[in-house]
Chains A and B, each alone.
Chain A
Amino acid sequence: MIIKDKLYNKILPKVSKPGRYLGFEWNSVHKKERGGEEENKNRIKIALAFPDIYEIAMSHLGLKILYHILNGRDDVVAERVFAPWVDMEALMRDENMPLFTLESMTPVREFDIMGFSLQYEMSFTNILNMLDMAGIPLFTQERGNDDPLIIAGGPCAFNPEPLADFIDIFVIGEGEEVILEIIDEYKRVRSTFNREELLKSLAKIPGVYVPSLYTVSYKEDGSLEGINPRVSGIPERITRRIVKDIDNAPYPKDLIVPTIQVVHDRIALEIGRGCTRGCRFCQAGMIYRPVRERNIETLMSLAEEIEKKTGYEEISLLSLSCADYSRIEELIRELMDGYEGKEISISLPSLRADAFSVALAREVQRVRKTGLTFAPEAGTQRLRNVINKGVTEDDLLKAIDAAVEAGWQNVKLYFMMGLPTETYQDLAGTGELARKVAKIKKGLAVTVSVSIFVPKAHTPFQWVAQDTISTITEKIEFLKKNVRGKGITFNWHDAQLSFLEAVFARGDRRLSTVLFQAWKMGCTFDSWSEEFDYSLWEKAFHKSGIEPTYYSNRVRDLDEFLPWDHINTGVSKAFLKNEFEKALQGELTPDCRYDKCHGCEICREFRVKPLLSSRRGGDME
């Protein structure tokens, strides 16, 4: 095995964190080395790719779910491949070593399918770089019958257009629902392999979007006229796929236990999916509806099995908002009873800013009070109402009170700046709120983290403009002076990075050129501050003849065709418009779990109801 020898003897001794490139972790699946030649020839080989380093990739649950489902099939081999860090890339290119998978060290080019996970816009150049390192043509149009099929899914697939020229097929929605259908169709068509025919037949699978089979038409002013199928028999709008019966959905028990430390190095126990709190800036709150909770019995048996098979010492509950799980107190009690004696700790990320959440955190962190994070998001009640963040100053202060009383000595507060209708009064509110929090107890450390609002597709704010870089810079200067006081630390995000995120989050197909140019000029790992070089991006836009502010700083007309309008999340555009109008009036929309239905249409679209663990066996069938 040429790759292995070179890797062990020449490359790994020189590279930082060599463990990133070794796929022999506990529970990793090594079918390829074990299977016979004939058996392997008939298997569909899929490389699950994540366009960032190992530590980030291995912290992602979706990838683990797909790895588990795919390797559960005897006729499929799934292996992993992540972005080599810059030092590794340089050594690999020097040695002419192609991008290879972790498990069997096979060149990715030899796989049938390469599937990317799209979690954030600023990982897009890494996709191009990985394709290039693999020796796979970057553009869909340049790929032949011998090249792997390139698929992509994840939240960024909800606005797939900026990547449309590079990705053969996008999966819209929850991958575990679709992936085996894609494999089966691939298997059926592969004997008569013809790329065009394959793409046409895959495009018929619900939830699959094949961009090369759709034509984009433009108006004279450069805005979009529409995105329409150019062949018959494929849908005009691609409807997202969802898991309806989450309790019986496949869940990985034999999680890979990384050898090197990764960002989330613990058991992720997904307690539920979806959130209907309805924060108007939040894309996850729209694209993962409806709420579906796993049952406590299911969760307890999953936890037990995963713990035995991995040896992890920590179980972290996972959902968009853990405290909203309808039987959260009961779940925590059962977990604590079951695991405290075994020295296994329970952690609860993503808590709401209220005393109830603090009580939960107190329950699980009886001794180690590491720090609590709350996200009031905006400095004044007026602006919190605009974004429908249903939290009041009183809620927050009571939460901090409870935290202080329980023994916490540092809290983090997350805010966003540049929100629609924001004024300097709202920004001043950030500092005031931080000082009120810091005053609760002498010695309390308060870290205020301010990120820059990025309008996202499929949200009520999809029509608004992001603040210009110069406005953002002025506002940051203001906040630096304003968010001050005893015990207060102020952090803020990079304006230029957020600007680019805004460009790609609502970009269209014309941005493919920019991505290509930026990558050619050397942009990779843009979400890493030490690698991010904004001047290269400026050059890339200039060279492509594209004005980025058209995407980030332009207010869209409510009737304009948006580049993601052909992607149907199940939440209606009318609902988003209505929410936008209510936002401007500062009107709240309460959570439909505890209030009436507000007509987002998700339940009608998918013929489902919110599935709450507490209502199981009740009248919701």
Chain B
Amino acid sequence: MRIWSKFSKTGPAVFMSHLDLVRVMERSARRANLPIAFSRGYHPRPKLAFGPALSLGISSSGEYLDIELLGEMDLNEFIFRLESALPKGLNILKACKVSSNVKSLSSLIDTASYNVKVRYSSRGSHHVPLSYDDLKGELISFLELPEFFVERQVKGGKRRVINIAGLVEGLKISEHRSESILLEMLLPIGTRGVVRPEEVISAVFTKIEGIEFEIANIHRNELFITIQDGRRRISPIEYSFIVLENLSGS
């Protein structure tokens, strides 16, 4: 039986790297006494897989785990047992059954939504808050740029320059205060390319004159799978239901 679980990563778990998370989940699944399936070969590994990795320091309420069990298990019992074996900061939110021919989470998931809180202050002695309209203007002008290059460290210590203009799929203000702004953004992730939330923030705020800014926190809300040639964007849990319906329909 193959199960996809949606989980959150908050509090102390925010500082858990992806590699740590893999180990923690494997050990939690053992503690939960789940009948985990193992790969064959010289180094049998528990059959656990994840969606796209979350950077260290980012919290999330939309992470996904793919786990294969030997035999069937009630989903509520699965959630209860795994949840009780997880360390503080990791929580299972939902679980659904998926058939074995469904592709992996990491190959299906292509979009992520984030909330980013930015704190800012004016240079000089007097703080002048950014107006809502000015800020909106800045966002629009960023979205309309033909090109915006960011530099990234790639494997082997090399650097690569990438054009992120045109890749941002959504950017809006969800909270506007005199010293902080909460932005919601929808960004590509996975095999088709990646834009990082901090790259968008730096692109937008560096060109606003007379302010200093810092990212207060980044939260990943949800991961999405795009279907119907880009017309629909749904969560992996919704995806599993559609796949299930299609199967029973045919």
Which A residues form the contact surface with B (CB < 8 A)?
Answer: 8-9, 12-13, 18-19, 22, 24-26, 257, 259-261, 308-313, 343, 367-368
Contacts and interface: CB of A to CB of B under 8 A. Distances in A.
B30 A259 contact: no
Q: Which 4 A-B pairs have the closest CB atoms?
A: A311-B27, A311-B30, A311-B31, A18-B15
Given A24-B12, A310-B27, A311-B28, A343 B38 contact: yes
21 contacts: A9-B217, A12-B57, A18-B15, A19-B20, A22-B15, A24-B11, A24-B12, A24-B88, A26-B27, A26-B28, A26-B31, A259-B24, A259-B87, A310-B31, A311-B28, A311-B85, A312-B27, A312-B30, A313-B26, A313-B30, A368-B42
B200 interface: no
Given A24-B11, A368-B42, 11 more contacts: A9-B216, A22-B12, A24-B87, A26-B31, A26-B87, A257-B87, A259-B87, A260-B16, A309-B31, A311-B31, A312-B30
B26 to A, nearest CB: 7
A24 B9 CA distance: 13
Given A18-B15, A19-B16, A24 B27 contact: no
Contacts of B19: 261
A22 B153 CA distance: 28
Contacts of B26: 311, 313
B46 interface: yes
Interface string B220-234: 000000000000000
Contact of A368 (B16, B43, B87, B216): B43
Interface residues of B, number: 31
Contacts of B42: 367-368
B36 to A, nearest CB: 8
Interface of B: 11-17, 19-20, 23-24, 26-31, 33, 38, 42-44, 46, 56-57, 85, 87-89, 216-217
Nearest to B58: A13
B29 A19 contact: no
A245 B88 CA distance: 37
A261 B17 CA distance: 10
Given A18-B56, A19-B20, A311-B85, A343 B31 contact: no
A309 B28 CA distance: 10
Given A308-B31, A313-B30, A368-B42, A261 B87 contact: no
A133 B232 CA distance: 56
B34 to A, nearest CB: 10
Contacts of A313: 26-27, 30
Contact of A260 (B20, B27, B46, B85): B20
Contacts of B29: 311
Contacts of A309: 31
Contacts of A257: 27, 87
Contacts of B20: 19, 259-261
Contacts of A12: 15, 57
Contact of B16 (A8, A259, A310): A259
Contacts of B28: 26, 311
A600 to B, nearest CB: 43
B117 to A, nearest CB: 11
Contacts of B87: 24-26, 257, 259
A343 B46 contact: yes
